[in-house]
Amino acid sequence: MKIGIIGAGNIGANAAKLFVKAGHEIAVANSRGAETLKDLVGELGENARAVSIEEAANFGEIVFVSIPFGKYKTLPADVFDGKIVIDSNNYYPDRDGNFEEIDENKTTSSAMLAEHLRGARIVKGFNTIWFEHLKTKGDTNLPIEERRAVFVAGDDAEAKKVVSDLIEEIGFAPVDTGNLRDGGLTQEPGTAVYNRELTASDAQAMLGGGGGY
């Protein structure tokens, strides 16, 4: 599968390494330009390339977005139509500035991204896991219920299935928290599952059996 990655920080870069290891083709972009990604792409090998943000979006069957939420409107909205987009972002007011509509619980960061990338198939995921755990905790040898949980939420069942399969491929367990709004709220900073080292069975118990994998 072809995966575009926008944002090459701790989460984006480690996700890229896992995706390449699983046999996928990767195109990585960041806000500073392809030249700044030479070392990362060199480490990733022949199945990775450094490109522009627009090229990464066009390249990927899945596009993994890992940028500060406050910069989401810098994404070129017209190139994501029909794409499965993994939203690994979180809203941190101290970093991103205050968004009144989120602060007043009128919407969510994922809903705002979906509104901007109209036509994209948004799946919230990879936003609750510490990058060191993303780097080290994946284990394809474990039964699914014993793997480290990675939560997903979204309104498109097929897109969630594609992302969930990808999560399994890299050694984690996808746990479905529901639709993009309510399920996404379940994953936000400060929630019971955020940055918690949970197996899939632990996560399901915590969610009252509502999460699926």
Are the C-beta atoms of 3 and 62 separated by less than 8 Å? yes
* pLDDT for position 209: 60
Mean pLDDT of 190-205: 93
Helix (H, G, I), strand (E, B) or coil at 64: strand
Contact 187, 206 (CB under 8 A): no
Domains and CATH numbers, the chain: 2-206 (3.40.50.720)
pLDDT tens column, 50-103: 999 999 999 999 999 999 999 999 999 999 999 999 999 999 999 999 999 999
Give exposure, 87-97, as e/b (b: 16+ Cβ within 10 Å). Answer: bbbbbeeeebe
* Residue 205 φ/ψ region, left for φ over 0, alpha for ψ in the -120 to 50 degree band, beta for the rest: alpha
Reported pTM: 0.94
